[in-house]
Structure 1
Amino acid sequence: MNLQNNEQLCTLAQKGDRIARDLLLVNNLKFIRKIVNEIYHSMNLSESDLGIEKEDLEQEGCIGLLNAIPHFNRGREIKFLTYAAPSIKNAMTNLIRKALAQYEQRMTDIKDGLAYQKIRLDEVIPGDERMLRIEAIADPTVKSPEQIYVEQETLRELYAALGRISDREQTYLLYRYGFTDDMEHTMIGTAIHFNLRESRAKKLENQAMDNLWLELP
């Protein structure tokens, strides 16, 4: 078979040409792997216990591409890969969401909705360690005494407010906004870290933020 573009291969594949279908996968494997890497790192899957590897996402991406073949219409003057891209991404994210739901079903404590046995971040910071962490931000080489004082007082107020909300809300916010590792995490990444459904993580975050604001001066 002569080298053909995606649109020509898709037309042949729609007629039952398996070689054309396989060539579509080969031609677009680089794009699929690019999406795999983006999703794998943005959702912090390497740090999760979902058991999803890059190869799993790649396989789902290939399935998503194949599923797009029967519905592609060359008459619409759109590139096949542009048309197939949402199907490829959706197949990967659906795999992740299904794994999250299954994992949460196994691991989440029904009473409070948080899988304490799987939390890997710091416990709620006790008083002395909390003060050390507040003071650790004070770098006299780059900040004025006034800046250091304001930041310390702000953090004292923030940690005091955190101490008055529930342990699980505090633990969630400490991780979500980078108090434990100086890196703000996405909501879906935080959901994966805590083995929660995205919808439950969103509900927990909204509730925690509401309660936190009520406790701030």
Structure 2
Amino acid sequence: MPTRSNEQLCKLTQEGDTSARNILLENNLRFIRKIALEQCRSMGLDENDIRIDVDDLVQEGSIGLLNAIPLFDAGRGMKFLTYTAPAIRNAMTDCIRAALAQFEQRMVDKKDGSGFQRIYLDDVLSDDERMLRIEAIADPHTQTPEQIYIQKEQLIELYGALNKLTAREQTYLLYRYGFTDGIEYPLIVAALHFHLSESRTKKGEGEVMDNLRGKLPWCF
């Protein structure tokens, strides 16, 4: 078969050409793998024992691409990969969620309990480290002295409120909202990091945030 574009191969596949379907998938495996690697890096899959790797995501992404073929309409002027990229990512995300749920169930089935006890806790920052971070956050090149002072005061009150939480609550918030490394992580990434289901993480975060708000003077 002569070299054809993704859009042409997709049209042939929609007409029942299985050879075109196989070529379409093969031609785009590099694109699928690139997305899989991005997902692994962004979600830290290589740093936990969820039992999912790049090849698993490539397989799920391939299924996502194939499932998108019947719905693609070249007449709308959209490129095939532009159209299928969300389907590929969604298929990978569903795979990660399923693996996370299975991991949590394995933890529940073990004698050590609910899985929450299996959280790999980061060290809670010391008072000196907290103050160093407060100093670092205030950027004199983008803020006035008054703004820097107000922000410092608010951060001091925030860290004071954090000190009133449990060690586990502190650790979760420090990781989730970037206090430890300057990166605010999505909920599903936090779930993966702490080996919890997404639903449990969401519920637990809501409870922790309510607890924190109750300890902040400007939230009354």
Q: TM-score, normalised by structure 1?
A: 0.78
Return the offset for 1:155.
4.8
Correspondence for 1:107: 107
CA separation in 1, counterparts of 2:65 and 2:184? 33
Q: Which amino acid aligns with 2:52?
A: I
Query: Of 107, 132, 139, which residue of structure 2 is paired with 1:136?
Result: 132
Return the offset for 1:40.
2.0
Distance 1:169 1:62, change over 3 A: same
Distance 1:113 1:157, change over 3 A: farther
CA separation in 1, counterparts of 2:67 and 2:29? 15
Return the offset for 1:209.
1.5
Correspondence for 1:85: 85
Residues 149-171 of structure 1: per-residue CA shift (max 9 Å, x gap): 87776555333322323343222
Q: Does 1:185 align with 2:185?
A: yes
Correspondence for 1:12: 12
Q: Which amino acid aligns with 1:183?
A: I
Correspondence for 2:60: 60
Correspondence for 2:208: 208
Deviates most, 201-210 or 29-38: 29-38
5+ unaligned residues in a row in structure 2: which ranges? Answer: none
Q: Which amino acid aligns with 2:85?
A: A
2:40–2:46 CA contact under 8 A, matched in 1: yes
Correspondence for 2:24: 24
Residues 1-23 of structure 1: per-residue CA shift (max 9 Å, x gap): 11111222123223443321121
Q: Which amino acid aligns with 1:63?
A: I
The count of corresponding residues between Structure 1 and Structure 2 is: 210
Return the offset for 1:191.
1.1
Distance 1:183 1:7, change over 3 A: closer
5+ unaligned residues in a row in structure 1: which ranges? Answer: none
Q: Which amino acid aligns with 2:58?
A: E
Correspondence for 2:160: 160
Distance 1:155 1:133, change over 3 A: farther
Identity of aligned residues (%): 55
Q: Which amino acid aligns with 2:175?
A: Y
1:36–1:58 CA contact under 8 A, matched in 2: yes
RMSD: 3.3
CA separation in 1, counterparts of 2:114 and 2:184? 22
Correspondence for 1:36: 36
Distance 1:186 1:26, change over 3 A: same
CA separation in 1, counterparts of 2:80 and 2:152? 55
Return the offset for 1:173.
0.8
1:64–1:90 CA contact under 8 A, matched in 2: yes
Q: TM-score, normalised by structure 2?
A: 0.77
1:10–1:24 CA contact under 8 A, matched in 2: yes
